[in-house]
Amino acid sequence: MTIDLQRFSKERTFIEDIFKGKKKQVEIGGWVHNTRTLGKIRFLILRDMTGLVQITAVREKVSEEIFHVMSNLSKESVIYVKGSVQDSKKAPGGKEIIPKEIIVLNEAKDLPIDVSDFSKTELPKRLDYRFLDLHRKRTQAIFRIQSTIATSFREYFIKKNFIEFQPPSIIGSSSEGGTELFSAKYFEKNAYLAQSPQLYKQMVACSMERVMTITPVWRAEKHNTIRHLNESRQMDIELAFADAMIVMKEMTEVVKYIVREVLNKNKKELDLLGIKLKIPKAKYITFTETVELLKKHKVHVGKDDLTPEAEKKLDEIFPDTILFVHDWPLSGKPFYIMPKDANADAKLSEGFDAIYKGMEISSGGQRVHLPDLLIKRLKAKGLNPKDFKGYVDSFRFGAPPHAGWSIGLERLTTLIVGEKNIREACMFPRDRDRLTP
């Protein structure tokens, strides 16, 4: 069966408006969320993108056909309903629909996963059927929040006169060092999938000054962890005439803005997920101070990196805080990060990591904009400056000092929605074992 979709799109009432408005006759469409039988009454909960409403059919008060359809509906079938709105103390939200017409647009049969609010289907199985998992209110809540995060990021920087740019996804040489590259054939040449927009955002900032992008990146990391994906999205900025502290302060402000926007726009979703979110504070601390602090708490720290255990402890010590760990050891940062005070022999760097809710959400810093120093740094990292010639040369013709960072969109989403596994915050994750759907 079908309906005239053009007519319906004009006449349709969204479910949340039934509860807000005074409209008596409505036409609605959506999915069968649940059904219930009570003697001669059939109840149906209908779900659309805005909410749930009860449809009630009492045998003597509706047609034989409607009663029959209501008695045989399977969950997640898609239906069209025309009916009248009636106040009801017993119905959820205080209103129900008395149906005059019901058309089944597509029947759903033998669901392979449980999509109810109390679903116990495990994550891998849910991901095998992600298109159906997206029928769950909980799953939808996560991605509605993710949409607010990405939109707020963009909004914040556009308001501050940044331009949004689109980096290439196929690149000729590594942007983050030699490992972890997916290779691709590009006609006669070898090419790679971009590990980050790093080199391009620097080149653009050196002319346009303030740039931002949200872009997919690919990393062939073989380990399967709950914090890594092989394809993820990065939210990046780059600023000319800036150092590490200037861009750390930008991150403080944008993360606060994002959290405030999620609190304003996603109250329903946060309630559904049971999340109490606070606008974070910011703290700036050096790597050396961090190591000393963690030693006092008997937590192991790497020579030039923080372990996941260390990041967890830092969240216990500084809850609801974006912790910027700066003056990072140079050996632990990529070739493009400026050595401390632009001194080629420095042990420390102008790079930092940002830790929030027990996980690294971002790294960044001031960049090397001086070609000779950049060549030294490439060599020190065991990379061949010839492979980066175009990039190095771009700093020979008027490149100001500059700095920037990147926040992982799925990482930040995972933490804000209180999940543990990053796959929950990626609609169609790509990991070591998963390439479909």
Question: Which residue from 174, 213, 266, 406 is in contact with ligand AMO, where contact means CB under 6 A?
Answer: 406
Residue 104 Cβ vs ligand AMO, minimum distance, rounded to whole Å:
42
User: Residue 47 catalytic?
Assistant: no
Contact present, 283 and 248 (Cβ < 8 Å): no
Could you confirm whether 360 is annotated as catalytic?
A: yes
Q: Are 64 and 123 in contact (CB under 8 A)?
A: no
| CA neighbor of 291 nearest in space, from 313, 263, 269 | 313
Count other Cβ atoms within 10 Å, centred on residue 73: 20
Residue whose C-beta lies closest to ligand AMO: 408
Strand partners for 103 = 80
Q: Is 255 in the site for ligand AMO (CB under 6 A)?
A: no
406 a catalytic residue: no
33-37, Cβ contacts within 8 angstroms, sequence gap of 24 or more: 33/75, 34/75, 34/116, 35/70, 35/73, 35/75, 37/71
Instruction: Please give the residues from 63 up to 122 whose contact with ligand AMO meets the rule CB under 6 A.
Output: none
Catalytic residue list contains 219: yes
Q: How far apart are CA 391 and CA 235, in angstroms?
A: 21
Closest CB 248 distance from ligand AMO, rounded Å: 12
- Rounded to a whole number of angstroms, the minimum distance from the CB of residue 180 to ligand AMO is 8
Specify the length of the chain in residues.
Answer: 437
d(CA 240, CA 56): 62
Q: Is 87 exposed, middle or buried (0-12, 13-18, 19+ CB in 10 A)?
A: exposed
* Span of 54-62, 107-115, 207-215, 229-237 interacting with ligand AMO by CB under 6 A: 229-237
Q: How many residues bind ligand AMO (CB under 6 A)?
A: 23
Rounded to a whole number of angstroms, the minimum distance from the CB of residue 280 to ligand AMO is 16
Task: Establish whether 221 is a catalytic residue.
Answer: yes
| Catalytic entry in 59, 138, 227, 434 | 227
Residue 67 vs 336, nearer CB to ligand AMO:
336
| Residues 19/3, Cβ–Cβ less than 8 Å | no
360-389: contacts with ligand AMO (CB under 6 A): 360-364
* Annotated catalytic residue 233: no
From 8, 7, 28, select the one nearest 17 (Cα to Cα): 28
**Which one of 136, 137, 219, 326 is in contact with ligand AMO (CB under 6 A)?**
219
Q: Binding mask 386-405 vs ligand AMO (x if CB under 6 A, - otherwise)?
A: ------------------xx
138 is catalytic: no
Give 54 or 232: the residue with its C-beta nearer to ligand AMO.
232
- 108 to 29, 73, 75, 99, 235: CA distances (angstroms): 15, 9, 7, 21, 38
Among 408, 414, 425, 431, contact with ligand AMO (rule: CB under 6 A): 408
19 vs 182 by CB, closer to ligand AMO = 182
Phi and psi at residue 31, in whole multiples of 5°?
A: -110, 145
Of 411, 414, 415, 425, the one binding ligand AMO (CB under 6 A) is 411
In Å, how far from its chain's centre is CA 421? 12
Chain residues that interact with ligand AMO, rule: CB under 6 A? 176, 196, 198, 219, 221, 228-229, 232, 234, 236, 360-364, 404-408, 410-411, 422
Catalytic positions are 219, 221, 227-228, 360, 363, 411
